[in-house]
Structure 1
Amino acid sequence: MTPQTSEKIPHRRSTTSSGLVPPWYRQAGPLVVAALVTAYAALWFAVRPPDVGLRTFLGQLAGAEAVLLLSTGLVLVSTLPWVERWFDGIDRAAIWHRRVAITGMLLLAPHAALAGNPSPSTVGPALAGVATGGLVALVVWSVLPRWRSVLPPVLHPVTDRATRLPGVVLLQKILGGYERWRGFHRLTGLFVAAGFLHGLLDATTFGSQTLRWSYVAVAGLGLAFYVYRELLARRFMALHDYQVSAVTSVGAGLVEIALRPLGRRLDFVPGQFAMVFLEAKDGWHRHPFTIASAPGEGVVRFTVKALGDWTGAVGDLVEPGMPAVIGGPHGRFTHRKGTAHQVWVAGGVGVTPFLSWLRSLGEHPVHGEVDFFYTSAEKPVPYAEEIEALAAAHPGVRVHVVRSDVDGRLTAATVLSRVRAQPRDLSVFLCGPEGLVESMTDGLRAGGVPVGRFHREYFDWR
C-alpha cells in the first residue's frame, strides 16, 4: 500500500550505510560552506563595477550572499550520501540547513535597506515580495512549535494565555500540524527561485558578466538540487517493507513500536535512525525515529515519545498488522568515535540510541570503559531494569540511573565525580533535551573535557 502523503513511496532499493570517516572529513561540510561564502564575497569585491555606489553594492552583495546560502540549504536537504558523509550525518546536515537558511534570511534586511535600482523591472519587485513573504512564513511557522525555546521563561505565562485566545486557536487549526508544514516547506525552492529571478532582473551590479554568471551558477546549482529532491530522489531511496508486530507502552508518553520485515531486512548499525512511513487509523504518516533495537534482532524497534500532534496519539492510532515502510538508515552516532574512557548521557527518550548500543554489545563491543548516565522523571524509569541487566553482562559498562524526582537534576559535577578517569581522557556522547545537552556540554568542558570529544544525536531537528 502507498502512504497517502505528499511523498509517495518510491521503488525499493537496498543500500548499506557507510562506516566511519576520518575526523577531519566530518568537518569538511561546514568548512566548505564557510570557504564558499568567503570566496564569493571576495569575488564581488575583486570585480566590483566602478559605476555602482558602495551602498548599493553592499546591499546587492548581501542579496547575492543570501541566495548563495539559501541555495546551499537546498543542497543540504537533498539527502544525497555524500552530503551525509561531509556533515557526519543528515541530522547535522539538517542543522546546518537551518543555520544557513536563517543567516540568508538575516542578510535580506541589509539587502532591502541598502540595495537600490531607480528603474526596476516590471515583475522584479513582485518576485522579491513573493520570495521574502514565503521565506519569512516558513521561518515563523518553523519557530511556532518551539516558541518556548525561543522566548525567555519570564514571558511563558503571557504567551501561554495568548495561545488560548480564539484567534490564535483558529490560526493553529488553519496551520495544522507537522504534515501541513512539511508540505509548505517543499515550496522553499520556489521562493528561492523567485528571489533569484528578482536579482537577475533588477541588480545593477550585473553589468559585470563575472558577477552575473557566478550568480546564475550559484542559484542554478541549488535549484538543480531542489528539482532532484522533489522529482528524482524518491527513486533512489533505500526502502524496506515491514509490518507492525507490537505496540507497547513503556512509560508515560512513551510507546515502543516493533516492526517485522516482509522482505529484505533493514541493514543498520547501532545508533542510527530511519525514516518510517507508518499507516495508522487516520492514514499514512512519515517521521524519522531512532532505532532502539540491535541489528541482529528479528524486528526493528522504535521508542516514540509524545512530542507532536501525531506522536502524542500514536499508541491509539497504530495497531499490530498495519503496514510500514522503512527508509534509510541514516546517521553516524556511534561509540566507535570514542576514546578508551567514555561517558554516555541520556535524558528521557534520548535513551533510544543507547538502548541500541547496549543491546548490541555482543556484536559491537566497546573497547574500553563506559559510564552511562540515564536521567528520567518517570516512575518507574523506562528500560531501567533491562539496561542494568545488559550492563551487568559487560563489566566495562557502569550504569548510573538518576531519578530526577528523587536524586535531583543530573549535573556535570555529578558525572565527573563518578567516573574513574581524568576529564582530559574522556569522550562524551549525549542525547536528550536541549537544556540537558547544553548544561552537560558547558559543565564538562569547564571541567576539563576537550572540546573535540563531544558527540551528540540531534533528534530535535526532526
Structure 2
Amino acid sequence: MSGTHSATRQRRAAILGVPVRLTGPLAIGFLAAAYLVLWLVARPEGEPLTRHLGQLFGGESVLLMSIALVLISTLPHVELGFGGIDYAAIWHRRLAIAGALLLLPHVELASNPQATALGKALAVPAAVGLAALIVWAILPRWRTMLPPAVHGAVLRTRETWPVKLVTRVLGGYERWRGFHRLTGLFVAAGFFHGLLDATAFESTPVLRWSYVVIGGVGLGFYAYRELVARHFLPHHDYQVDEVRTVAPGLVDVHLKPLGRPLNFRPGQFAMIYLETQDGWQRHPFSISGAPADKGIRITVKALGDHTTKLPEVVQPGMPAVVSGPYGRFDRLTGTARQVWIAGGVGITPFLSWLRSLDGELNEAVDLFVTSSGRSPFADEVQAIAKAHPRLAVHLIDTTTGGRLTPQHVLAAVQADPRELSVFMGGPDPMLKEFRRAFRAAGVRPANIHREYFHWR
C-alpha cells in the first residue's frame, strides 16, 4: 500500500470511522443518565415520590425529544458525531419513540392540584401530536416490529375498506414529511406545559433552569432548521438528462449540472428534489455514479411512495435541485482486507466505489452481489474486476443458488475475521442477520459498516 493512500486511510478512519460514530450515542446516554441523577438528587423536600417520578419522566421525555430535534438539524457536526446523517436520523427516530413512551408513566404518575388551565390545555396537543407522529412513522416498518406469525393477518386487514381509507387519507412520504415538520411545535407545547405545571420547579431552581436550557436548545435547533437552514445549506441546480429502466422496478436517472456541480465522495448520498408531473418531490438517494462523471447518477428501486411511478412522471429536461452530500459510507475507513455485500438495490454505493476506481485497488476485496435473478449490473461489475486483480466478485442468483448466508461469505473469504472490514448494503433484516453472525465469528464491531437507506 502506498504511503499516501495509507495516510489518507488513517486520516479518514480517525475522522469518519465507527469509533467517532459511537460518540453521539454515548453522549446521549451520558446526558440522559446525568439528568436522571440530577432529578433524584435535587428532589424537593416534601415532594411525594410518585409525583416526583412522574415529573422526572416528563423531564426525560423533553430531553430525549430535544436531542431528537438537534439530530435532524442537518448541521455537519451532528453528522460527524454519528458517522453520517443516516445514523443520526436512525437515532432521531429511536429517541422520539423513547421520549413518547416516557409520556405514559408521566401521565399516570405526575399530578399537580394547582395545575394551570393553559398548562393542561398544552398537554393534550403535545401528547396526541407526538403519539400520532410515532405511530405514523413506524407503520411502514410493521414487518420488522411484529412477529412473522401475524403478518398474514395484517396483510388481510390492509385490504379492508377502513384501512384503505386511512391509507388514502394519510398519503405517502410527502404528506408524512409535512406533518413531521410539526414535531417541534408538539415538543414546544409539552415543554411549556412542564414549565407551567411542574411542582418540582417551584422550590428547586436547578431543575427549572436545566429544564429551560434543555428545551430551549432543542427548540432553538428546530427553529434553525425550519427558518434558517435553507438559507445556508448549499443547493445545486440540475436537469434530468436521462431516465433509463435497467430492470423491472429498477431505474437509472442521470442528472446534469446547470451550474456548480455537487462535490461528493463515492458512497455518499444526496437529498434530491425532482420536479415531476405530480409536482415537486423530495427523497434521499444514494449516488451510484462516480465524482468524475460531473453529473449525478442515481439508481432507484420501486420501494413505494413516488419511486414506483418514477419512470412515468420524470422525463428528460425536468429540473432538479440537489443538496448534500451526506453519509460517511467510505471504504477508505476499512482495513486492507475487505468484504462488500450488496443485496438488491443496496448495490448502489458499491457501484459508486467501483466506478470511481482510478488506478490500483490497494485493498483485497471480495464483493458479493445477491439478487433475484442475474444482477443487471453483473457484466459491468465483472468488467471492472478484470481490471483490478485484487477484486473478487461473487454473483449470487437467489432463484437458482439459494440465498447468501454469512457462513457462505466467511467460507469464501477464508481470512482471519479479526482482520476483516465488512461493508453492507441491502434489506434491513438481511443486514441485521449478517451483523450478528459476523460479530459472533470474530469480526470487530468497529469494522462492520452498513448503509441505511430506509431511514427517511
Tell me which interval the TM-score lies in, with the shorter structure as reference length: over 0.9
Q: How far apart in 1 are the matches of 2:188 and 2:311?
A: 41
Q: State the TM-score, normalizing by the size of structure 1.
A: 0.94
Q: How far apart in 1 are the matches of 2:40 and 2:161?
A: 52
**1:285 and 2:281 correspond:** yes
Q: State the TM-score, normalizing by the size of structure 2.
A: 0.95
Amino acid at match of 2:77: W
Q: Give the conservation status (yes or no) of the 8 Å contact 2:342–2:425.
A: yes
Q: How far apart in 2 are the matches of 1:443 and 1:107?
A: 33
User: Which residue number in structure 1 is paired with residue 354 of structure 2?
Assistant: 358
* Structure 2 counterparts to residues 386-401 of structure 1, below 5 A: 386-401=380-395
Superposed CA RMSD: 1.3
5+ residue gaps, structure 1: 1-17
User: Which residue number in structure 1 is paired with residue 162 of structure 2?
Assistant: 167
User: Which residue number in structure 1 is paired with residue 400 of structure 2?
Assistant: 406
Q: Give the conservation status (yes or no) of the 8 Å contact 2:365–2:390.
A: yes
- Secondary structure of the 2:324 match is strand
**1:210 and 2:206 correspond:** yes
Q: How far apart in 2 are the matches of 1:403 and 1:43?
A: 56
- C-alpha distance after superposition, 1:398-434 (max 9, x if no partner): 0001001111010011001111411121110011001
- Secondary structure of the 2:394 match is strand
Alpha-carbon deviation of 1:46? Answer: 2.2
**1:117 and 2:117 correspond:** no
Alpha-carbon deviation of 1:383? Answer: 0.6
User: Which residue number in structure 1 is paired with residue 25 of structure 2?
Assistant: 30
User: Which residue number in structure 1 is paired with residue 89 of structure 2?
Assistant: 94
Q: Give the conservation status (yes or no) of the 8 Å contact 2:16–2:328.
A: no
Q: Give the conservation status (yes or no) of the 8 Å contact 1:335–1:366.
A: no
User: Which residue number in structure 2 is paired with residue 234 of structure 1?
Assistant: 230
Q: How far apart in 2 are the matches of 1:442 and 1:388?
A: 29
**1:276 and 2:272 correspond:** yes
Q: Give the conservation status (yes or no) of the 8 Å contact 1:267–1:295.
A: yes
Q: In the comparison of the two structures, how many residue pairs are matched?
A: 443
Q: How far apart in 2 are the matches of 1:156 and 1:103?
A: 25
* Pick aligned residue for 1:255 from 248, 251, 255: 251
User: Which residue number in structure 2 is paired with residue 13 of structure 1?
Assistant: none
Alpha-carbon deviation of 1:19? Answer: 5.5
* Structure 2 counterparts to residues 29-428 of structure 1, below 5 A: 29-207=24-202, 208-362=204-358, 366-378=361-373, 380-428=374-422
Q: How far apart in 2 are the matches of 1:371 and 1:96?
A: 31
Q: Give the conservation status (yes or no) of the 8 Å contact 2:12–2:332.
A: no
- Secondary structure of the 2:437 match is helix
Alpha-carbon deviation of 1:336? Answer: 0.7
- The runs of at least 4 aligned residues of structure 1 exceeding 6 Å deviation read none
Alpha-carbon deviation of 1:298? Answer: 3.5
Alpha-carbon deviation of 1:22? Answer: 6.0
Alpha-carbon deviation of 1:299? Answer: 2.2
Q: How far apart in 2 are the matches of 1:31 and 1:135?
A: 25
The more displaced of 44-53 and 426-435 is 44-53
Q: Give the conservation status (yes or no) of the 8 Å contact 2:16–2:80.
A: no
Q: Larger helix proportion, structure 1 or 2?
A: 2
5+ residue gaps, structure 2: 1-10
Q: How far apart in 2 are the matches of 1:452 and 1:298?
A: 33
Q: How far apart in 1 are the matches of 2:367 and 2:225?
A: 39
Evaluate the alpha carbon distance shift between residue 366 and residue 75 of structure 1 in structure 2; reply closer, same or farther with a 3 A threshold.
farther
The more displaced of 20-29 and 110-119 is 20-29
The percentage of aligned residue pairs carrying the same residue is 55
